[in-house]
Amino acid sequence: MKLTRLSSNQKSFKTINFNPKGLTLIVGTSSGEENAGNSNGVGKSLALRLVHHCLGANGSKKLGDKLPEWVFRLDFEINGKPYQVERSADSKILALNQQSIKVRELQAWLNQIGVFNLSAEQKLPISFRSLVKRFARVEISDCIEPDSTAEEQPFEALVRTLFLVGLDVRLVSNKYELKKRIDSLRQAKKVWRDTPALHDLFRAGNDARIRADWLRGNLPRLQEQLNSLVVAENYHEIEKVANEKTQKLRDLNQEIEILKFRCNSIADLLIVKPDITSQELLSLYQGLEVIFKPEALRHFDVVEKFHRSVAEGRKRRLTADLIGIQSEILVKETERGKLAKDRDEIMQSLRGKTAFEEYRAVANEFAQQTQELKALEEFLEVDANIQKEELTIKEALLLDAQRAAEYLSSNPLSNLEIFYRRMTECLYPNSASGLSLENNTGENLLRYNFKVHLDGSKSDGIGHAKILCFDWLVFTHGANHTMQFLWHDNRLFAHLDPGVRGRWFSNICSELLSTEKQYIATINSENYDSMLCLLTDTEKNTLELSKVLELRGNMASQKLLGIQVDL
The pLDDT value given to residue 129: 97
Strands 448-454 and 433-439: antiparallel
Query: How far is 136 from 48, CA to CA, in rounded Å?
Result: 7
pLDDT band at 37 (very low <50, low <70, confident <90, very high): very low
Lowest-pLDDT choice from 15-29, 383-397, 481-495, 541-555: 383-397
Query: In terms of Cα–Cα distance, which of 550, 549, 459, 445 is closest to 496?
Result: 459
Can you give the pLDDT at residue 109? 97
Whether pTM > 0.75 for this model: the answer is: no
Angle between helix axes 170-193 and 154-165 (nearest 10 degrees) is 160
Stretch 219-238: mean pLDDT, rounded? 65
- The top-scoring range by mean pLDDT among 286-290, 394-398, 466-470, 555-559 is 466-470
Average pLDDT over residues 239-267: 80
Over residues 236-255, the mean pLDDT reads 75
Tell me what percent of the residues of the chain surpass a pLDDT of 90: 56
Is residue 317 over pLDDT 70?
Answer: yes
pLDDT at 206: 72
Can you tell me the distance from the alpha carbon of 139 to that of 144, in angstroms, rounded to the nearest whole number? Answer: 10
The confidence band for 249, taking pLDDT boundaries of 50, 70 and 90, is confident
pLDDT tens-digit map of 424-473? 999 999 999 999 999 999 999 999 999 999 999 888 899 999 999 999 99
Lowest-confidence segment of 213-217, 380-384, 478-482 by average pLDDT? 380-384
CATH topology of domain 2-189+459-556: Rossmann fold (3.40.50)
On the question of pLDDT at 359 being above 60, the answer is no
Per-residue pLDDT, averaged over 324-349, amounts to 78
What are 543-552's pLDDT values in tens digits? 999 999 999 9
Which residues are registered as beta bridge partners of 551? 28
pLDDT above 90 for 238: no
State mean pLDDT over 270-289: 61
User: In a 3-state reduction of DSSP, which class is residue 205?
Assistant: coil
Tell whether the model's pLDDT for residue 34 goes beyond 50: no
Q: Where are the alpha helices (DSSP H) in 428-551?
A: 460-477, 498-512, 525-532, 537-546
Q: Which pairs from 323-332 meet CB under 8 Å and 24+ separation?
A: 325/259, 325/262, 325/263, 325/266, 326/263, 328/259, 329/256, 329/259, 329/260, 329/263, 332/252, 332/255, 332/256, 332/259
Q: What pLDDT is attached to residue 35?
A: 43
pLDDT at 245 over 60: yes
Question: Is residue 203's pLDDT more than 60?
Answer: yes
Q: Is the pLDDT of residue 417 over 50?
A: yes
**pLDDT value of position 213:** 83
Helix (H) or strand (E) run with residue 406 in it: helix 356-409
100-116: average pLDDT: 96
pLDDT band at 236 (very low <50, low <70, confident <90, very high): low
Whole-number Å distance between alpha carbons of 496 and 500: 6
Looking at per-residue pLDDT, the higher value among 232 and 565 belongs to 565
| Averaged confidence pLDDT in the chain | 85
d(CA 129, CA 149): 12
Mean pLDDT within 286-309: 62
Residue 359 contacts residue 226 (beta carbons within 8 Å): yes
> Using CB atoms within 10 A of its CB, is residue 276 exposed (0-12), middle (13-18) or buried (19+)?
exposed
Compute the average pLDDT of residues 366-387: 76
Nearest-CA neighbor of 178 among 385, 400, 384?
A: 400
Asked if pLDDT for residue 160 goes beyond 90, the answer is yes
Alpha helices in 271-355 (DSSP H): 278-287, 300-350
Q: What percent of the chain has pLDDT over 70?
A: 83
pLDDT band at 163 (very low <50, low <70, confident <90, very high): very high
For 288, residues 6+ apart whose C-beta sits below 8 A from its C-beta are 297
Number of neighbours of residue 467 by Cβ within 10 angstroms: 21
